Amino acid sequence: MMKRSALAFLALTLAACGGASAKGGYDKVPAARLVIDNPAASEIAIFAGGCFWGVEAVFEQVEGVRSAVSGFAGGASGDVTYKQVISGGTGHAEAVKVVFDPRVVSYADLMRVYFSVIADPTLKNRQGPDVGEHYRTAFFPMNDRQSRQARAYIAQLGRAGIYERPIVTTLERAAPFVPAETYHQDFAKKNPRHPYIVRHDAPKVAAFRRLFTELRR
């Protein structure tokens, strides 16, 4: 059984961490024009888009995704806790490490899902009710191939005027990625009736399944 102090901190965590509704609604943005094929059997991508619960919940629905792990990226330290990150000053963002089969689903496909239902890329250091640098929208390209595609896609969506405000999603160095504590992993799946999941993350999953029938499991 958890000690009382640990239970109190977990309660605080559950109250503070929630997903964010993308653009006040959900629309399927145009596909990326630049797609660089990867014939490998496995690829890793890291995305930050507000609270990692919702980001993880959506990517777990994608066919070809083998795992989605909630954690932290973008900070200097490879050893950090959730409490330290949300306190500010570590430089980390809540992020999700996605391991996928690029022969089944491409990095470009994952970016399209991200911009369609996961995050509002025009909000700086916030998503929905969550505010702070650790809730920024960011990509962490693992190689030049991912970096080129991400830069091209952000520019493409900006030129197309998809959003009313400029895209502020950043491209940042990939390492280190630090997995979050166990109770954060598969949180939406394990707690489907949690108020934040119901209000902010379940709609994202439903929108993905409605808009991306060709990509869903």
**Domain boundaries along the sequence of the chain:** 39-211
Q: Is 49 helix (H, G, I), strand (E, B) or coil?
A: strand
Tokens of 155: 């520019």
pLDDT of residue 21: 36
Active centre residues (catalytic): 51
CA distance 118 to 70: 14
Exposed / middle / buried, residue 134 (Cβ in 10 Å: 0-12, 13-18, 19+)? buried
pLDDT along the chain (217 residues), means of 10: 36 40 72 97 98 98 98 93 94 97 98 98 96 97 98 98 95 92 97 97 97 97
What is the pTM (predicted TM-score) of this model?
Answer: 0.89
Give CATH for domain 39-211.
3.30.1060.10
